Structure 1
Amino acid sequence: MGPLDHVDLELLSVLAEDHRATVVAIAERLGLSRNTVQARMMKLERSGVFLSFDRAMSPRALGFPIEAMVSVVVRQADLPRITAELALIPEVLQAHGLSGQVDLLVRVAARDTQHLFAIDARILGIEGVERTETSLVMGEVIGSRVRPLLEAARRES
């Protein structure tokens, strides 16, 4: 998909304010037809603008009140296989490949500290993982957000 145009940015702005807004409500607010909004939404979805719904669910509400960031150092040649094995661990919420001394930053959720210890052991048990360092998340000081980027893009368009 090419760059987002003014209509796409306005549509996304409405969704950022109310993620449950219906296509009809968005169309009314933007002064567009329902079909136009529906077509734009489908185009945005196909192009990967929208992330998965499960990103909006709280691990704490599901019985996993402890979150941690696990820094993982791996043998580079094994990185694709290690990443695939990490994806099989249900408590792994996210993993990011990094440049620098740490290869992966893995966000995990646990029921308690014993469970976290077991998760870390499972990660360490993956062939090719050389070491880990686990840091408890003490609190979220800035939540996941894109609204400031959306506002900047709207100003620039």
Structure 2
Amino acid sequence: MGLLDHVDLELLNALADDHRATVVALADRLGLSRNTVQARMAKLERSEVFLSFERAMSPKALGLPIEAMISITVHQADLPRITAELAELPEVLQVHGLSGQIDLLARVAARDTQHLFEVDARILSIEGVERTETSLVMGEVIGYRVRPLLESVRAESLRPESAPRSS
């Protein structure tokens, strides 16, 4: 099944239920020793199972209520430098590299539409950026989640192997 075994999946499920759970609480819940849970957590961390441990904060709370997605088309040879320059813009929250006609998709935050216009202009001024297209975020309809995927993988791991077909 890959790098995760049944115990790893149960540990991830417990963390999905309570992402602030302590190692001791996880050990109690799963019936494992504290050392086992700590070792498993360290293994999962080394295997890059966990994304950022940075606390997610609302840009609204920081005075930036406008969010937008900016599609960016770039000169391919300049992609690494452009990405580095985008990382220097504080309003850029996240950037994904894409296949297809759009090269990068940036999630940005702004104080108001004028500020958003200025952020877009700074992105366009980066040498090698050919074009941008900005879409305002009207609301989040499905937030980042892994619970359904985790449950699907757990269910699949618990299924008995298919019986060999007879000829």
User: Given the two structures, how large is their TM-score scaled by the length of structure 2?
Assistant: 0.90
**Aligned length in residues:** 156
1:56 shift after superposition: 2.2
State how 1:130-141 maps to structure 2 within 5 Å.
Answer: 130-141=130-141
Distance 2:43 2:63 in 1: 36
1:152 aligns to what?
A: 152
Distance 1:153 1:60 in 2: 35
User: Given the two structures, how large is their TM-score scaled by the length of structure 1?
Assistant: 0.96
RMSD: 1.0
Matched AA of 1:34: R
The percent of aligned pairs where both chains have the same amino acid is 83
Flag structure 2 segments of 5+ consecutive residues without an equivalent: 158-167
1:12 aligns to what?
A: 12
State how 1:3-152 maps to structure 2 within 5 Å.
Answer: 3-54=3-54, 56-152=56-152
Distance 1:144 1:55 in 2: 14
Distance 2:144 2:18 in 1: 16
Distance 2:61 2:15 in 1: 24
Task: Rate the CA distance shift 1:96–1:55 in 2: closer, same or farther, 3 A.
Answer: farther
Give the secondary structure class of the aligned counterpart of 1:90. coil
Flag structure 1 segments of 5+ consecutive residues without an equivalent: none
Which structure has the larger Rg? 2
